[in-house]
Amino acid sequence: MRESYRKQLESLHTELIRMGAFCEDAIASAVGGFLDEDAALREKALKLEKEIDLKEREIESICVRLLLREQPVAGDLRQITAAQRMVGDMERIGDQAADIAELANFFYRNRSSGRGVFPETLRTGEILKSDIHIGDMAKATAAMLTASIDSFVAGDLKKARDVIKSDDEVDELFRKIKQELIEIISGNSRSGGACLDLLMISKYLERIGDHAVNIAEWVVYSIAGERGQPA
């Protein structure tokens, strides 16, 4: 392999890892800003979205240079094609982390104005953390994202397929959160609006999990020439 080509591939891997780290930080900041009632963390998630958008363009430029100048074939071509698709999913993850931060801002504005009604026992972030599994869902989706990117850099087919399988855990957490919110509403119908906000936050996390699965499927394609988990 030509030295210049090898260095460009290494640069591609490095920038993908950095973009993944931005996405993980955005998820943690958005959800942490919600659960800890921390406006600064929510603002950080919104700023990270812009960093993620810039990184997407940077990686796309690397991929285009590799395709045009090096004319890769077979496995190398699949790897570069997969990277182009992966950054699109990572950009959407950044968008959805920002959506969580914006919805959390809306949630707290409504609560302070009296429009976001919750039972007294659910007015604090500490109770939200223990009674609704949003924090667990955020950790699970971030772990999926990390593993999917690691599998690409390491060429680890098993790890990529494990990410695809782990989507069931995120789906189960989403179902659990829906049930928890139904129970809250059944005990206090005036909490419906606030519970819908929480359901939307968990829905954004479910979508982040779906994008992590997409990334893992592109990793499988880059290694094995097939999409996703074979039957």
Token pair for 101: 């931060």
pLDDT 10s digits, 154-168: 999 999 999 999 999
Q: Is residue 28 part of a domain?
A: yes
- The number of domains in the chain is 1
CB distance 192 to 111 below 8 Å: no
How is residue 72 written in tokens? 């890769």
Band of the pLDDT at 219, cuts 50, 70, 90? Answer: very high
170-178 average pLDDT score: 94
Over residues 79-100, mean pLDDT? 95
pLDDT of the residue at 73: 79
CATH number (domain holding residue 216): 1.20.58.220
Contact 171, 206 (CB under 8 A): yes
d(CA 134, CA 132): 6
Per-residue pLDDT, 187: 79
DSSP-derived letter for residue 68 is I
How do residues 133-152 score in pLDDT, each as one tens digit? 888 999 999 999 999 999 99
Residue 193 confidence (pLDDT): 79
Q: Does residue 74 belong to any structural domain of this protein?
A: yes
In a domain, 231, yes or no: no
Domain range enclosing 177: 3-224
Q: Which of 58-72, 120-134, 176-190, 216-230 has the lowest mean pLDDT?
A: 120-134
Question: Is 229 part of a structural domain of the chain?
Answer: no
Evaluate whether residue 195 is within a structural domain: yes
DSSP assignment letter at 129: H
- Supply the pLDDT for residue 216: 96
For 98, other C-beta atoms within 10 Å of its C-beta total 22
CB 34 within 8 A of CB 42: yes
- pLDDT tens profile 42-79: 999 999 999 999 999 999 999 999 888 877 778 888 99
Q: Which two tokens stand for residue 164?
A: 């695809």
In a domain, 182, yes or no: yes
